[in-house]
Chains A and B, each alone.
Chain A
Amino acid sequence: MHSSKKIVVLGHFGVGKTSLIRRFVTDTFSDNYKVTIGVHITKKLVEIAVDREVSLILWDLEGTDEIESIRDSYLLGTHGLVFVFDVSRPSTFEHLGNDLKIVRNKVPETPLMVVGNKSDLVDKAELKTVLDENELSADFLTSAKTGEFVNELFLKLATLLVGDA
């Protein structure tokens, strides 16, 4: 059985959205930073169970510090969302609660995963302190560079969405 799901990946500038997707889709990483303009679309077929495949159509939205300014039309018909912040850059999670509220208002009732990326840049103890001090709760702490928890993130979302269908 096959189905397709639209996943929108969003967050502030330079948090590693494109790198996360690239790691997931092609299992590669590049330090060469290129800004995403508009939206970039990629696809990955995920097998979540025997005879159960899901095509994840990944919409990589350009980063913005004004989450409010994200085009509503890009979010239409979205099945799942991934909100990414950079654990090494406080400006990307200082207003996480408010950012998530804005996203929730735009697409209520759509499953949302909150992801702290670039976990390789901060040591584990420091990371815990950062999370505790800022009262952050992330579903996954990933590293696009090392690949840590990247597959797990998308697999969990895919399973959640198919369960929802």
Chain B
Amino acid sequence: MYPKMDEKDKLEILKDILLADEHEFEEKISRRIELLEQTVHEREKLSEKVNPIISHQLDDFTKNIPETLGPTITETLKKQIKINKDEVVDALYPIMGKMVKKYVAQEMKLLSEKMNNQLSFLSFFKRKFKSGVTGQNENEIMLGDLATASIQQVLLIEKDSGILKASYSKSNAMDEEMVSGMLTAIKSFVEDAFNQRNQELESIEYELYEIHLQSFATHYIAVVISGNYMLSAKNKLQDIIFDFYNSFMAMNLDLVFETKNAQKSIVPVPKSRIERELAKYFGHAQL
């Protein structure tokens, strides 16, 4: 026989039966809260959960910088330049000054060369004199004077390592990779020796050839020239080099744009493509 239950006990039993599910739910909730508290308070556990989200957000942010922050940055820069005009002038002066100085000096030399050509009757006497002193045939001297500069070889070289990126050559007489390394070593040595890291070696001369060196930020171009390499020829060559370099940079900029789209990986410009461009620009160039 069961003991007699009063109303209170009955109610308790009824409550237990009815609220059994709720108890279970309550326990579940409290376990989850405990877990959450643990996660929030323990740095490592929190990092585990939060880092992927932050990293994803950061990726999105980086990808969207040009669109979201681009205009603000441009505007801020404009404002800062306006406010700090003197500082900007100070910073740019050495670079611009050097460029202007170089340009003026070259133009002056060009002018003087043109004037010399105008006074060609003097050349006649000069040739006569030279022929008399050296015993060399006057015609040979004249031919030598008239030998026009011609591009023999062009090397596009990585500035720091001296690694050859691409080349164009009318004859394959030398090991271009070794020459590129050697030129870079000579360049480094000269620039170091004069302790002038902001100045660049511009040319190397030897009897029959001259190597014109044109430096850019990450690469430099070495052009081997035979014949009479006058300043007018140098001017033309520099124009060709700048045109080519713009095209080379454009090829690299394609890569930059590709990498902006993070889904695509960097595809290096094939050497063959750069060499085609080198041949196009320098192959038939008239100096």
Contact = CB atoms under 8 A, between A and B. Distances in A.
Contacts of A77: 158-163
Interface stretch (B65-73, B178-186, B230-238, B257-265): B178-186
Contact of B178 (A38, A43, A76, A78): A43
Interface string B128-160: 000000000000000000000000000000111
Contact of B163 (A6, A39, A71, A74): A6
Contacts of A88: none
Nearest to B162: A6
Contact of B161 (A6, A38, A42, A71): A6
B189 A57 contact: no
Contacts of B275: none
A5 B178 CA distance: 12
A48 interface: no
A79 interface: yes
A78 B184 CA distance: 12
A57 B163 contact: yes
The interface centre, meaning the residue of B158, B163, B175 with most chain A CB atoms within 10 A of its CB, is B163
A74 B175 contact: no
A55 interface: yes
B32 to A, nearest CB: 46
Nearest to B182: A41
Contacts of B178: 41-43, 57
Contacts of B160: 76-77
Interface of A: 4-6, 38-39, 41-43, 55, 57, 59, 71, 73-74, 76-79
Interface of B: 158-164, 175, 177-178, 180-182, 185, 188-189, 191-192
